[in-house]
Amino acid sequence: MTLLQGRGGRLDSLLKVERKWLSLVAVITGIFMLLIDITIVNVALPDIGTDLDASFSSLEWVVNAYTLTLASSLLVSGSLADLIGRKKVFAAGLIIFTLASLACALAETSLMLNLLRAVQGIGGGMMFSTSLAIIAQTFQGKDRGIAFGIVGATTGAAVAIGPLLGGLLTDAFGWEAIFFVNVPIGIFALIGTFRNVDESKDSHPSGIDWLGAVLFSAALFLMIYALVHGNDKGWGSLEIIGAMVLSVVLLIIFGGVETHKEHPLFDLSLFRKPAFVGACLVAFCMSSSLFALFLFLTFYIQGGVLGFSPLEAGLRFLPITGMMLVAGPIAGRLTTKVQVRYLLSGGLLGVALGIFLLHGIDVNSGWTALILGFVVAGVGSGFVNPPLASTAIGVVEQRRSGMASGINSTFRQAGIAAGIAGLGAIFQSRVGNLLAEQLAGTRAAPHSDQISAAVTAGQTEQAISHIPGSVGAAQIHQIREAAHFAFVGGMNTLFLVTSAIALIGSVGAFFLVRQSDFVAPPGQEGGTGTE
């Protein structure tokens, strides 16, 4: 009897251990799915634009609608999870994300797709905000370190695989496949969540700051709206000026509300520590430079100039995504030996240099002209991501680590949205001006605005195909050359701008991320780097 009891106890223990790791599988599946949806869509955008007759602004919203709602829902979802249960919120996020993915695949207009992408982002925010808390609750000691290491590897893999998987699915089955693929993955993760994830919540929940959430979301949306549509509607128009002014006003009100809240959505007191400010600056600059640039590089490699298929485009991103994957684990090991400010600053300096090396391409440049810059930027990015996560939570007390992580993640996603919107405005203006100069005095000059709109959306050849047959072959060739010249000119401008943004982040990290701000001693949990 004693023997049977002993065997039964060991079996229960083994089953408990197995269930713990199965819960990790469910969580990282959700994390992988929501993160890959940031990059997987890029290589599909030219096809989406063609099929749905979408403008460049509409294509920007395909990405921004997702990242905006993801950023806006992170902290409020975390508060909701503390109140009603993390498993419940994670599972609800999975359901919303999966159903929205199915609806995205069936969308027949760009407006419908963008609205559904926003719903996807809400589901993604609900998953992302609860995933790390579930893991922290489930794992202890050495196993927790292993679990978080797996999460880090999953994050890197999602970024690296996104463009390639997006290209493969789009080429083989059409752009709809990048959304359809989420359905079986989401169902798998949902079953794993219900079966293996234990429920947990805060024993003393602080409640939900709905007013703060509304103010922050509205301010962010209005700012991005103004940046995306400034060229279309006119920067001096009442609509654009009004949106920007109202955005600033709402942010000021938001700051005032959060300062006087006992349990704010954004704990602004965290920003009293220079190192936390530095971590948020790094997150924003990283996202608004390199990650935002991916969208425009995709258009360049595909329909803008080079004319590669989605799969071919995905393969050509491997020098940068592959180096991210290689450099990440190296940076992770160095965080206990090297001060994180050197890793963060040096990594962003590498990103700035890599992007700068892309500058100087012309209409005759092949994709190989991008390789060196891609490799350098990829290594730099890989050195930023691991220490960034540890810095955001390492400079605050453990009880505030969830808030700190959420704010840092919000800056990451908001950086992508703001970067795409801001760079898009610069790109549209630059391409439009260059194209008008190139077409001046030709029969195509009156149509330069329409051609420019197609060119910026990566639909150069589609626009040329609609030119009347009465226009001679020589002029069509001239228009194509002008379009390529304008596109390349716009890209070179973006390379300079994003390189400068990354450089700002590098300098900020060096001067703001101070080792003295870390709560725990270096080498211990919550601390990073060496004295």
Please answer whether residues 319 and 502 qualify as being in contact, where contact means their C-beta atoms are separated by less than 8 angstroms.
no
The closest of 306, 290, 302 to 355, measured between CA atoms, is 290
Q: Which carries the bigger pLDDT value, residue 333 or residue 433?
A: 433
Residue 528 has pLDDT above 70, yes or no: no
> What confidence score (pLDDT) does residue 530 get?
44
Identify the pLDDT of residue 16. 59
Q: What is the pLDDT of residues 384-435, one digit of tens each?
A: 887 887 787 788 776 677 788 888 888 988 999 999 999 999 999 999 899 8
pTM score: 0.87
> Among candidates 163, 193, 166, 192, which has minimal Cα distance to 177?
166
What is the predicted pLDDT for the residue at 529? 43
List the single range of 32-36, 82-86, 125-129, 203-207 with lowest mean pLDDT.
203-207
Taking a C-beta distance cutoff of 8 angstroms, is the pair 225, 242 a contact? Answer: no
The CATH H-level (homologous superfamily) assignment of domain 1-202 is MFS general substrate transporter like domains (1.20.1250.20)
How large is the average pLDDT for residues 509-519? 87
Lowest mean pLDDT among 5-9, 371-375, 503-507: 5-9
Half-sphere exposure of 48 (CA within 13 A, CB side): 35
Query: What's the confidence (pLDDT) of residue 465?
Result: 64
Judge contact between 96 and 126, C-beta under 8 A: yes
Q: Are the CB atoms for 182 and 169 separated by under 8 Å?
A: no
pLDDT tens digit sequence for 295-313: 899 989 987 788 888 989 8
What pLDDT is stored for residue 201 in this prediction?
74
Q: What is the mean pLDDT of residues 325-337?
A: 81
Nearest C-alpha neighbor of 419 from the set 159, 71, 35, 182: 71
Compute the mean pLDDT over every residue in the chain, rounded to the nearest whole number: 85
| Percent of the chain topping pLDDT 90 | 42
Over residues 197-248, the pLDDT tens digits come to: 888 776 676 778 889 889 999 999 999 999 988 888 888 899 999 999 999 9
Least confident residue range of 9-18, 190-199, 277-286: 9-18
Quote the longest CA-to-CA distance of the chain: 98
Give dist(CA 101, CA 127) in Å, integer.
15
DSSP state of 400: G
Kindly calculate the radius of gyration of the chain based on its CA atoms and give it in whole angstroms: 24
- Domain layout of the chain by residue ranges: 1-202, 210-260
pLDDT reading at 470 higher than 60: no
- Residue range 253-292, pLDDT digits in tens: 999 998 888 888 888 888 989 999 999 999 999 999 999 9
pLDDT above 70: residue 6: no
- Are 71 and 125 in contact by the 8 Å Cβ rule? The answer is yes
User: Backbone phi, then psi, for 231, in 5-degree steps?
Assistant: -70, -40
- Mean pLDDT in residue range 330-350: 87
Lookup: tokens for 227: 């940046």
